[in-house]
């Protein structure tokens, strides 16, 4: 039981941090670059192409850049958005170069728009490397909300495993903690606590992937790349828990001997 109390103490801060995920996400948004990205979309909406072209990196400027900007502008509704919300922010720094990827969601009277802007800062100069917009019928938060509507058999299998596997792992941890093992008990506890051979499922799209060389605490978990990002469920085979439960009697016999 001492081990279980330690485990709860270690996991409690993670749970508490998850409750304030949106507030934490706001702290990772680069405010100056966010304002510049929103300004670029506003200029495209106003058809102020020269102002946008002046920000585009010289390596991407070409004779057909104006046409491409016009095509992007055509996708932007000709009205003032009801709300603007940054739903994605990535910052990567390499030596003296910093790259930013910002995803901004716009709400209009009858539609939504998701705009992605890629920028790079080098020698205090900020240039644009990419602008992409995509119309939507509803917000990404609504599209990616957790729901069983329209889900297939794989969704149900993964959600069931995400419930069953942690229960099995926790049970095995308790049994391992109570079992007197002569040598290296802590290795068994560590082995039991993780799952291997991870399967990830995008709950919104149903896309899945397998990562053979991966360890997952308690054999299951979930993640979101941002407040409006799709839920990613992950499950892993509880190899340690299964092996321990199968070998528990023999381990106890060795200890008794």
Instruction: Record the pTM.
Output: 0.67
Residue 4 lies in a domain: no
- Domain of 186, in residue numbers: 144-256
Q: pLDDT (tens digit, 9 = 90+) per residue, 51-110?
A: 988 888 888 888 888 899 999 999 998 889 999 988 888 889 888 889 999 999 999 988
User: Looking up tokens 């993670």, which residue turns up?
Assistant: 14
Residues 130 and 222 placed together within one structural domain of the fold: no
Give dist(CA 253, CA 31) in Å, integer. 63
Give dist(CA 91, CA 202) in Å, integer. 23
Answer with the residue of higher pLDDT: 229 or 174.
174
Residue 40 has pLDDT above 90, yes or no: yes
Is residue 72 classed as helix, strand or coil in its secondary structure? helix
Percentage above 70 pLDDT, the chain: 87
User: Mean of the pLDDT values across residues 130-140?
Assistant: 90
Answer with the residue of higher pLDDT: 158 or 23.
158
Residue 182 has pLDDT above 80, yes or no: no
Q: What is the CATH number of the domain that holds 125?
A: 3.10.450
Residue 183 has pLDDT above 80, yes or no: no
Give dist(CA 160, CA 156) in Å, integer. 6
Q: How far is CA 126 from the centre of its chain?
A: 27
User: Mean of the pLDDT values across residues 146-158?
Assistant: 89
State the total domains in the chain: 2
Q: Is 79 exposed, middle or buried (0-12, 13-18, 19+ CB in 10 A)?
A: exposed
């Amino acid at each position: 039981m001492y081990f279980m109390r330690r485990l709860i103490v270690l996991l409690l801060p993670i749970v508490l941090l998850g409750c304030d995920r949106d507030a934490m996400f706001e702290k990772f948004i680069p405010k100056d670059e966010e304002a510049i990205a929103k300004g670029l979309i506003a200029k495209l909406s106003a058809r102020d192409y020269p102002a946008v072209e002046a920000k585009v990196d010289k390596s991407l400027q070409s004779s057909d850049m104006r046409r491409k900007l016009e095509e992007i502008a055509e996708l932007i509704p000709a009205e003032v958005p009801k709300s603007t919300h940054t739903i994605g922010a990535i910052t990567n720094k390499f030596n003296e170069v910093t790259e930013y990827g910002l995803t901004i969601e716009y709400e209009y009277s009858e539609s939504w728009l998701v705009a992605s802007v890629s920028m790079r800062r080098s020698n205090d100069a900020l240039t644009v490397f990419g602008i992409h917009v995509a119309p939507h019928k509803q917000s990404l938060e609504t599209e990616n909300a957790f729901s069983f509507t329209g889900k297939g058999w794989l969704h149900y299998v993964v959600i069931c495993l995400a419930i069953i596997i942690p229960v099995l792992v926790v049970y095995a941890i308790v049994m391992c903690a109570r079992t007197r093992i002569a040598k290296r008990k802590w290795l068994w506890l560590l082995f039991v606590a993780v799952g291997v051979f991870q399967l990830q499922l995008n709950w919104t799209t149903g896309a899945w992937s397998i990562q053979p060389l991966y360890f997952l605490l308690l054999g299951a978990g979930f993640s979101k790349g941002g407040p409006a990002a799709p839920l990613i469920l992950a499950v892993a085979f509880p190899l340690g828990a299964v092996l321990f439960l199968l070998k528990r009697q023999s381990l106890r016999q060795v200890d008794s001997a």
